């Protein structure tokens, strides 16, 4: 399964890219994150929420095809 992973704000600086497509087997959000933590160790210490297909989800959620967005703390206004 291909997941379109998007990184926002300072997380995009940690990964060095805004988005990428990665292949995963069926997994939970936390499984996906542990793979991303191996690829980008700097992500480990960062605070962020995960959105799947435009909805904020828990780490236990099973991922499905589409977009996974990593959102750092909001700082609008």
Partner 1 sequence: MNKRKPKNVFIDGAISSEFIGQSIAKHQSKTTIGAHNIFLGQVRADEIDGKEVSAIEYTAHEEIATIKFHEIREETFSKFNLTCMHIYHSLGRVEAGEICLFVFVSSPRRKEVFSALEYVVEEIKAKVPVFGKEIFEDESHQWKVNS
Which residues are at the interface with partner 1 (CB under 8 A)?
6, 8-10, 51, 54, 56, 69, 71-77
In the complex, the smallest distance separating the C-beta of residue 9 from partner 1, rounded to whole angstroms, is: 3
Phi-psi region of 66 (alpha: psi -120 to 50; beta: other; left: phi over 0): left
DSSP-based three-state secondary structure for 2: strand
- Residue whose CB is less far from partner 1, 8 or 37: 8
In the complex, minimum distance from the CB of residue 3 to partner 1, in angstroms, rounded to a whole number:
16
CB-CB neighbours of 14 under 10 Å: 19
The least distance separating partner 1 from the CB of residue 26, rounded to whole angstroms, comes to 24
* Both tokens assigned to 67: 């977009």
């Amino acid at each position: 399964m291909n997941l379109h992973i998007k990184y926002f704000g300072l997380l995009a600086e940690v990964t060095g890219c805004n988005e990428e497509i990665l292949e995963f087997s069926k997994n939970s959000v936390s499984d996906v994150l542990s793979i991303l933590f191996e690829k980008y160790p700097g992500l480990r210490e960062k605070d962020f929420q995960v959105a799947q297909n435009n909805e904020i989800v828990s780490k236990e959620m099973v991922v499905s095809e589409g977009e996974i967005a990593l959102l750092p703390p909001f700082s609008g206004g």
